[in-house]
């Protein structure tokens, strides 16, 4: 059971490491020190809900449409390969560092609205949680709750580490080379997950 929990944790952590609009927003809020706790809670709670739906409903969808699992498995692998290639390209092309935007602090309502929009209007979030995590969870019949708990734990740990760790990372990410290294790690992570998906489909 604990092994399944760790698998869920590692799968979710690998997927969520990819720097996208949502993660960049959380990091920016952490760098500016604005509404960090609520932003992290909003992101983690949204992820938890989507993971729960994916783990509990994906098997039912597969029963109704047997072609869905292999179709999404290969589509997900293709997306991850493409995303990894994009990250690797960014690793070589990046010349700018992420800097907090100047100006007055945004209100709480506006901040949360932006955070939720970046989460729920992002199709990649659904691919990661509903489809990829939901698909992988079917490999552990009867142990889906442990897998989901691990995936949710990774999400909570990541968002709060990102939000509150931003102050520590600020000097590091003022340098473009730090983003190059991170993008390279992301590319490798995405390709490893894609390979796992393709091997599981054989």
- Evaluate whether 8 touches 155 at the Cβ level (below 8 Å): no
Average pLDDT over residues 26-43: 90
Digit-coded pLDDT (tens) for 158-202: 999 999 998 887 787 677 787 788 778 878 877 887 887 788 765
Q: Cβ–Cβ contacts within 10 Å for residue 54, how many?
A: 24
CA 173 to chain CA centroid, nearest Å: 20
Digit-coded pLDDT (tens) for 55-75: 988 767 767 777 766 776 787
DSSP letter (8 states) at residue 175: S
Q: Cβ–Cβ contacts within 10 Å for residue 181, how many?
A: 13
- Evaluate whether 29 touches 39 at the Cβ level (below 8 Å): yes
**Cα–Cα distance measured from residue 88 to residue 183, given in angstroms and rounded to the nearest whole number:** 6
Residue 100 has pLDDT above 50, yes or no: no
- Evaluate whether 82 touches 137 at the Cβ level (below 8 Å): no
Q: What is the pTM of this model?
A: 0.70
Alpha helices in the chain, H assignment, sequence order: 2-16, 21-32, 36-64, 68-93, 108-120, 123-126, 134-137, 144-169, 176-200
- Among residues 168, 31, 36, which one has the least CA distance to residue 102? 31
Rama region for 142: left / alpha / beta (φ>0; ψ in -120 to 50; rest): left
Q: Cβ–Cβ contacts within 10 Å for residue 40, how many?
A: 22
């Amino acid at each position: 059971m604990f092994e399944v929990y760790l698998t869920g944790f590692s799968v979710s952590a690998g997927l969520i490491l990819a720097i996208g609009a949502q993660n960049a927003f959380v990091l920016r809020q952490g760098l500016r020190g604005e509404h960090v706790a609520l932003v992290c809670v909003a992101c983690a709670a949204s992820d938890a809900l989507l993971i729960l739906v994916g783990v509990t409903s994906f098997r039912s969808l597969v029963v109704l449409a047997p072609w869905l699992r292999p179709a999404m498995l290969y589509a997900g692998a293709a997306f991850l390969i493409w995303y990894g290639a994009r990250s690797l390209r960014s690793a070589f092309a990046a010349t700018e560092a992420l800097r907090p935007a100047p100006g007055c602090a945004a209100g709480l309502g506006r901040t949360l609205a932006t955070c939720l929009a970046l989460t729920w209007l992002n199709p990649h979030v659904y691919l990661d949680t509903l489809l990829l995590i939901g698909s992988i969870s079917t490999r552990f019949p009867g142990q889906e709750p442990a897998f989901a708990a691990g995936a949710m734990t990774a999400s909570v740990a990541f968002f709060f580490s990102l939000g509150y760790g931003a102050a520590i990372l600020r000097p590091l990410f003022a340098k473009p080379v730090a983003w190059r290294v991170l993008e390279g790690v992301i590319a490798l992570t995405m390709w490893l997950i894609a390979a796992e998906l393709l091997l599981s489909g054989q």
